[in-house]
Structure 1
Amino acid sequence: MISDVRPRPFLRAALLATAALLCSCATYHPLPLGNGEGAASATQLSVPANTMPVPELATHRFDPADGLDVTEVAMLAVANNPDLRTQRDGLGIARAQAFAAGLLPDPQLSFGEDLPHGDGGESGVTRAYSLGIAEDVSSILLRSSRKHAANAQAEQVNLDLLWAEWQTIAQARLLFEQVQNLRTQQAELDAEQQALAPVDQAVQAAVRAGNLSYDGASAGLNAMADARKQASDNAVALHQAESDLRQLLGLAPNAPLDLVGQPYRADPDDAQLQEALIDLPKRRPDLLALQAGYRAQEATLRGAILAQFPAISVGLNNARDNTGIKSNGFSINLSLPLFDRNRGNIAIEKATRQQLKDDYDARLLATRGDMHRLAADLRTLDAQQQAQAVHAKQLDAARDAAQQAWQKGLIDWPTYLSIRANALAADTDLIALRQSRSATAIALEALLGRTDFVMQRTPRQ
């Protein structure tokens, strides 16, 4: 007679355990896409100071109700910049990967059953089954290298994010000053057109009356045309700068930009430069990120070397054959490293490590060169700006005197227009020099690096 004895208690326990595990599994929740609209105003946003990556921002109160100063613009850029949001998502992925790398592999459960038929139950043959559980030992042995590599990669992503935040802060400061300079220059160009209007009207009236030829009037006619063109070009540049700043801040295209206060003044000195050059690899987040990436590759290479040894999995078995004899045993699966021996992956990881090393050396060399170049540029621009400021002040005084003299009829209008044009050019050049000097100083300050940047950031959404 065929026996109905089966390993039901053990199977039931396994099924119940599996069901319990399935109940604790993650579930799916949809996440709809957004509409891509930025904030309509900075006053709708809040920026906790304790989330800022540098101390000068972390100690500043964010209050856009009375306008945005340069520090608040930098804070808003760090908190609300769309590109930084994407990089923070990447940091979340890297940390999830580090978590996954430390998980142990799930054991494999197997069950099989043979059902006899056709003998009418006269032979005494019973149902046979086999039940086993196995674990991949090699994966456990490689867990340490895998986890070290994933943790180092997460650290690299975190440092890359910090470096991106620094660059965003510098860009926010530059755009703040650029917008203010262009607005100042626009007001100056508008005032210039108003000042030229009486001369332009007089010249055109003289031409219409036949008292002045077009050849003789060309200087007067071109003066107003040039002023209009400069104002138009400046307005286009202002629109672009304001658009760039809104995008950097994650604001809507028509959001108001109420900028108040003075621009950021960076004045890195030679002592800071020398200090940075001495311990540069310990200060710059991008260099620290490359170091973390190199450590991750070292761990990956060690894992590839360990993987050249035989892959092992072990298991325990419980079985009963069709005669009713039960047995317990174990199994060991072992790969034979005769041909592959993971030599290809080892060669790839070694070459990758060499590439990372050369990349780090090249970045460090380029950084030192950039710092020396920017320091030299800053000294040149400082001297040039001082000289240009004196020159512009003299021409402004000459313009004021010429305006009074022309109104009194003491000088002719071509001389008056020439003096005004020279003064306007000097003022415009001075604004451009200030912008260039500020950009150079901010870039050099960012390259100097800081020793007190925030490594443990508060997650931002």
Structure 2
Amino acid sequence: MLVSAGYLQAADLTLAQAIDGAFARNPELAAVRQDLGIADGERQQAGLMPNPELSWEVEDTRRATRTTTVMLSQALELGGKRGARIDVAERGQDTARLELERRTHELRATVTQAFYAAARAQTAVELAEQSRRLAERGLHVADGRVRAGQVSPIEATRAQVQLAETELQLRKARTQLADSQRQLARVTGTLEHEGQRLGFADLAPPSAPAAARLLAVLEQVPAMRLAEAQIRQREASLGSERAQRIPNLTVSLGSQYSREERERINVVGLSVPLPLFDRNQGNVLAASRRADQARDLRNAVELDLRTQTRSALDQWNNAASEAASFTGVILPAAQQAVDTATRGFEVGKFGFIDVLDAQRTLIDARSRYLDALASATEAQVAIERIYGDFGRVATHP
């Protein structure tokens, strides 16, 4: 067997199950979901009118000549302040929903990366076990030839060293597998996946989509829509600050009673601040600059996403081509070289140093093959962080 694949069994954890579990249990995503409720609360608060004020006032502390006034005052918001405040809160709701969508895409990509890292580690253990069996076979052959007096005992020593090296590699691979399983359990929000075998059909990623197809839908990805929503939110904040320049009008109605004259009279009052010094001009300027900043950030996000897309696709295609070379040519040839060298050593055509060289070449080729798969998966994950589910994007009309 050149490359190990995970065979699906009833107890195997699949990528789809890992993603579903992360969506249900990941604490960071759960925290982001709370932002929706926070935004709803802010929207509710933004629509409320100011509370009326009840005041009680006494003139003259002497009982016989005391005058008592009771007033009910209500501030009337002018200049569209309430509507502007509601607009800001609704833009905040939009931002919270888009941020949740973006973080959901990020979590899907993170789980995919962790899953395939654990899958590669699982495969690395299986390949290390194959390498150990090769070394054991080499040692068995070398011992047989030494006992027959056909080769020097040093050949058996070399075979023992090679076996010891493969056992070290196997222990290292098992340690990396345990660590990768813990990382997968962490991102899925559970500890129950530690030590569980993964089910996967193939480590090789699918073919990379065309750059033109991805870039054509760039405006629809959550990161871009979030940047646009933040512009609208900043513009709404600017409108709210401009509305604050209009003073509020306070209307007061009340009753005044004079003990000295034994007479009750009605009182009506109007009050309004005079915007002589503070016309909210500083906050308006700051909000205007924040809106300009959001537009600049939106342009920066688009440039960054375009660059990330092209770089990830180049990496994806190069790594996929490299992985295909390993599976199509390099690994089969390396395996054949090991078999040929071992059989040749058995019949005395080659020295054991040739067997060792062939075994090490095969082990190195397997390691570099897993590195190529890791590079391809990293690129795929980078695309999924931006565009979400790869299958949906790849088939987008």
- Larger mean CA deviation between 319-328 and 290-299 belongs to 319-328
1:133 aligns with 2:72: yes
- The within-5 A match list for 1:270-309 is 270=210, 273-281=211-219, 283-309=220-246
Shift of residue 279, structure 1, vs aligned partner: 4.1
Shift of residue 80, structure 1, vs aligned partner: 1.0
Given candidates 165, 184, 190, the residue that maps to 1:226 is 165
Cα distance between partner residues in 1 of 2:174 and 2:222: 37
1:240 aligns with 2:179: yes
How has the CA–CA distance of structure 1 residues 198 and 400 changed in structure 2, closer, same or farther, with 3 Å as cutoff?
closer
Structure 2 residue aligned with 1:321:
258
Shift of residue 340, structure 1, vs aligned partner: 1.8
Amino acid at match of 1:156: T
The answer as to whether partners of 1:374 and 1:444 remain within 8 angstroms in 2 is: yes
SS of match in other structure, 2:297: helix
Cα distance between partner residues in 2 of 1:345 and 1:308: 10
Cα distance between partner residues in 2 of 1:137 and 1:293: 30
How has the CA–CA distance of structure 1 residues 161 and 65 changed in structure 2, closer, same or farther, with 3 Å as cutoff?
farther
| 1:143-173 CA distance string (max 9 Å, x none) | 1111111111121121111111111111212
How has the CA–CA distance of structure 1 residues 258 and 332 changed in structure 2, closer, same or farther, with 3 Å as cutoff?
farther
1:96 aligns with 2:36: no
Cα distance between partner residues in 1 of 2:370 and 2:153: 36
| 1:46-68 CA distance string (max 9 Å, x none) | xxxxxxxxxxxxxxxxxx97432
How has the CA–CA distance of structure 1 residues 245 and 304 changed in structure 2, closer, same or farther, with 3 Å as cutoff?
same
How has the CA–CA distance of structure 1 residues 279 and 261 changed in structure 2, closer, same or farther, with 3 Å as cutoff?
closer
How has the CA–CA distance of structure 1 residues 112 and 67 changed in structure 2, closer, same or farther, with 3 Å as cutoff?
farther
Amino acid at match of 2:269: S
| 1:426-452 CA distance string (max 9 Å, x none) | 122112212221221232244345799
Amino acid at match of 2:268: F
Gaps of 5+ in 1: 1-63, 119-124, 454-461
SS of match in other structure, 1:262: coil
TM-score (norm 2): 0.84
How has the CA–CA distance of structure 1 residues 263 and 277 changed in structure 2, closer, same or farther, with 3 Å as cutoff?
same
Cα distance between partner residues in 2 of 1:431 and 1:73: 22
Structure 2 residue aligned with 1:413:
352
The answer as to whether partners of 2:138 and 2:342 remain within 8 angstroms in 1 is: no
| 1:302-345 CA distance string (max 9 Å, x none) | 11111122233222122212322222232222111111211111
Given candidates 130, 148, 161, the residue that maps to 2:87 is 148
The answer as to whether partners of 2:113 and 2:377 remain within 8 angstroms in 1 is: yes
The answer as to whether partners of 2:134 and 2:359 remain within 8 angstroms in 1 is: no
The answer as to whether partners of 2:224 and 2:298 remain within 8 angstroms in 1 is: yes
Identify the structure with bigger relative contact order (alpha carbons < 8 Å, sequence gap 6+).
2
Q: Percent identity?
A: 20
1:71 aligns with 2:23: no
| RMSD over aligned Cα atoms | 3.1
- The within-5 A match list for 1:395-414 is 395-414=334-353
SS of match in other structure, 2:246: coil
Structure 2 residue aligned with 1:29:
none
Structure 2 residue aligned with 1:108:
53
| 1:184-222 CA distance string (max 9 Å, x none) | 11122123223323545858x98xx9x656xx8885465
Cα distance between partner residues in 2 of 1:91 and 1:77: 19
Structure 2 residue aligned with 1:269:
209
Shift of residue 413, structure 1, vs aligned partner: 1.5
Cα distance between partner residues in 2 of 1:383 and 1:97: 52
1:158 aligns with 2:97: yes
Amino acid at match of 2:18: V
How has the CA–CA distance of structure 1 residues 180 and 407 changed in structure 2, closer, same or farther, with 3 Å as cutoff?
farther
The answer as to whether partners of 1:104 and 1:140 remain within 8 angstroms in 2 is: no
How has the CA–CA distance of structure 1 residues 229 and 330 changed in structure 2, closer, same or farther, with 3 Å as cutoff?
farther
The answer as to whether partners of 1:186 and 1:231 remain within 8 angstroms in 2 is: yes
SS of match in other structure, 1:224: helix
Cα distance between partner residues in 2 of 1:345 and 1:218: 81
Gaps of 5+ in 2: 1-8, 393-397
The answer as to whether partners of 1:69 and 1:262 remain within 8 angstroms in 2 is: no
Cα distance between partner residues in 2 of 1:382 and 1:293: 37
The answer as to whether partners of 2:36 and 2:93 remain within 8 angstroms in 1 is: yes
The answer as to whether partners of 1:266 and 1:445 remain within 8 angstroms in 2 is: no
SS of match in other structure, 1:135: strand
Amino acid at match of 1:269: P
Cα distance between partner residues in 2 of 1:67 and 1:427: 24
SS of match in other structure, 1:134: strand
Given candidates 334, 358, 381, the residue that maps to 1:442 is 381
Shift of residue 299, structure 1, vs aligned partner: 0.9
Cα distance between partner residues in 1 of 2:156 and 2:11: 49
Shift of residue 346, structure 1, vs aligned partner: 1.0
How has the CA–CA distance of structure 1 residues 182 and 451 changed in structure 2, closer, same or farther, with 3 Å as cutoff?
closer
Shift of residue 364, structure 1, vs aligned partner: 0.5
Amino acid at match of 2:330: H
- The within-5 A match list for 1:354-433 is 354-389=292-327, 390-433=329-372
Structure 2 residue aligned with 1:338:
276
Shift of residue 361, structure 1, vs aligned partner: 0.6
The answer as to whether partners of 2:384 and 2:390 remain within 8 angstroms in 1 is: no
TM-score (norm 1): 0.73
The answer as to whether partners of 2:320 and 2:376 remain within 8 angstroms in 1 is: yes
How has the CA–CA distance of structure 1 residues 399 and 217 changed in structure 2, closer, same or farther, with 3 Å as cutoff?
closer
Amino acid at match of 1:315: S
Q: Count residues in correspondence.
A: 376
- The within-5 A match list for 1:189-200 is 189-197=128-136, 199=138
How has the CA–CA distance of structure 1 residues 186 and 423 changed in structure 2, closer, same or farther, with 3 Å as cutoff?
same
The answer as to whether partners of 2:68 and 2:256 remain within 8 angstroms in 1 is: yes
The answer as to whether partners of 1:284 and 1:450 remain within 8 angstroms in 2 is: no
